[in-house]
């Protein structure tokens, strides 16, 4: 191996030691994992027809607003 290869390995070793010692991003990862778990749990608990029910509610609301808007009330 040449001199340049040893320099690259030393730099890589230095970077890996820095990553191992740096704990700043640990909290962010834990919060992201918690949010992911909560999303999966919520999806498992919700009924499968939530999208249909929500769509029906917004369609009825839209129809009511259009009716009120066209009658000038």
In the predicted model, what is the mean pLDDT of residues 10-26?
Answer: 72
Q: Band of the pLDDT at 30, cuts 50, 70, 90?
A: confident
What is the H or E stretch that residue 31 is in? helix 26-45
Domain boundaries, the chain: 3-71
pTM of the predicted structure, to 2 decimals: 0.38
Q: Work out the angle at residue 15's Cα, subtended by the Cα atoms of residues 12 and 19, and round it to the nearest 5 degrees.
A: 140
Average pLDDT, the chain: 79
Q: What's the pLDDT band for 60 if we cut at 50, 70, 90?
A: very high
């Amino acid at each position: 191996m040449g001199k340049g290869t040893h320099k690259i390995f030393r730099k890589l070793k230095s970077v890996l030691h820095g990553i191992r010692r740096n704990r700043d991003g640990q909290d962010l990862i834990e919060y992201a994992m918690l949010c992911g778990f909560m999303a999966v749990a919520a999806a498992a608990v919700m009924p499968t027809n939530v999208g249909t029910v929500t769509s029906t509610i917004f369609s009825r609301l839209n129809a009511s607003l259009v009716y009120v808007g066209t009658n000038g009330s």
